[in-house]
Amino acid sequence: MATLYVVATPIGNLEDISPRALETLTGVDVILCEDTRVTKKLLARYNIHTKTLSYHSQSGVTKIEKILDILREGKSLALVSDAGTPSISDPGSFLVSKIRAELPDTVIVTIPGPSAVVAALSLSGLPSSDFLFLGFLPHKKGRETLFREIEESKRTVVFYESPHRIMKTLEHLRSLGPDRRVVVARELTKMHEETISGSPQEVFDFFHLHQDRIRGEFVIMVSGK
């Protein structure tokens, strides 16, 4: 029976992959990768030689139909992203939705594992039983609306940010005032992992004074009001 495995992969440290994930990646017919070059580094680390096929946010109708045809043949696929859990702030969600609509008999199985948002929350010290996840904030349209939502939120808010916009974002968050807490997790599970916590002003000042830390992957968390 056609099967799609949604497989979480490491967000940094390659040893964080589970034995079940490795077994799945070894056994499927094809691995769907956000970037085949990135995934092949992981596969090479564990001597896995499964065929790969790219699937990303720019993949068009032709690529999606090719993936559906593979499933129609009764084959098994593994869906991975460059890092973390596919479909979470990731183009994989559209593909899973398409498969459910077009091929409802396909078995869809999750192979859980690393997720940057969960990893960051676990070490933040902020309330996490109820939180709002915004993924990557838009570059322009809708960005101000989301900042207003963050300002008014009574729940912990979590989102991703790039090094190119981190300072502008932290500058914007300064308007929240000293009673709110901001936690920035950088390069989780990697060699230069660190977590900066404080008032919005204190976190802004830290990165303003340490320009060399403005690199890598960022998860930003803001306490509720």
Report the pLDDT value the prediction gives residue 4, as an integer from 0 to 100: 98
Question: Which residues belong to CATH 3.40.1010.10 in the chain?
Answer: 3-111
CB atoms closer than 10 angstroms to residue 56: 16
Percentage of the residues of the chain whose pLDDT score is greater than 70: 100
Contacts of residue 185, Cβ cutoff 8 Å, sequence gap at least 6: 116, 119, 120, 123, 124, 193, 194, 195, 218, 219, 221
Report the pLDDT value the prediction gives residue 1, as an integer from 0 to 100: 87
Report the pLDDT value the prediction gives residue 141, as an integer from 0 to 100: 85
Q: What is the mean pLDDT of the segment spanning 109-135? A: 97
List strand residue ranges (DSSP E) for the chain, in order: 3-7, 30-33, 51-54, 76-79, 107-111, 131-136, 156-161, 182-186, 194-198, 218-222
Residue in 192, 183, 136 with CA at minimum distance from that of residue 164: 136
Question: Which residues belong to CATH 3.30.950.10 in the chain?
Answer: 116-222
Residue with the two structure tokens 């709110």: 180
Report the pLDDT value the prediction gives residue 96, as an integer from 0 to 100: 97
Confidence of residue 98 (pLDDT cuts 50, 70, 90): very high
- 116-222 belongs to which homologous superfamily? Tetrapyrrole methylase, C-terminal domain (3.30.950.10)
Residue in 154, 155, 147, 88 with CA at minimum distance from that of residue 128: 155
Encoded amino acid at 12, one letter: G
Report the pLDDT value the prediction gives residue 164, as an integer from 0 to 100: 94
Q: Is the pLDDT of residue 71 over 90?
A: yes
The Cα–Cα gap between 225 and 156 comes to: 9
Q: Look at the domain 3-111 and name its fold.
A: Cobalt-precorrin-4 Transmethylase; domain 1 (3.40.1010)
pTM given for the model: 0.91
Length of the chain: 225
